[in-house]
Structure 1
């Protein structure tokens, strides 16, 4: 991502680089251009580790929800979201003795007859909204 130089400069003026140090009691001290008083303990090393683990967990959870190669899609007829040439639709595939049958949106075809039906990427369907599960709007 490219940032416009004026926007970058304005951001740096508003949010200068923080300075950090660790005091003998194990507390991290941080000052951001006088916004946080000097020697005000903010986090212990354990608290920082916990926060960093939470960030890592969120990032890996998000990555797990990313588009995956279509070769790894389930081939048991279960539905998933699929991407094909700029379109996103529900899709499914199942294997028969004579090959794969793909469904993409409202289209269905044998892969040998219409190979372009196969999407390039997929992701599992998200969970249904809690209200839908409870039967309310």
Structure 2
């Protein structure tokens, strides 16, 4: 019985490790920019340079990268966390994550991206879509954003 229990623990641990590596790889998007818009007008490019599992039990990932809004670059760090409840209720079988990316700097055009990441896995190409609201640190600007692969 102890051997069976140990075997099950090992299998679960390996599955969790490989699942975390797969999510990290998906978010990094082959080190290519994710492309979108901010305020439905300005071009937005986002690159995740580092993605690492912070808490594998909660499917939480620490991310570092930068955003580029029409040539203005801002580095960020943040957290992406799996939302089991929203994923369970997703009729399109998306995996849904909460995200919060905090840009470095304190200027008028530095702030926080908060929203959701949805991942639709398929044999052809996995689809990632990030969307939510960007708000500057002074709470004087707030714009919708999206970017995807």
TM value normalised by structure 2: 0.25
Higher alpha-carbon Rg:
1
Higher RCO (C-alpha under 8 Å, 6+ residues apart): 2
The structure with more helix, counted as a fraction of residues: 1
TM-score, normalising length from structure 1? 0.26
Select the structure that is richer in strand: 2
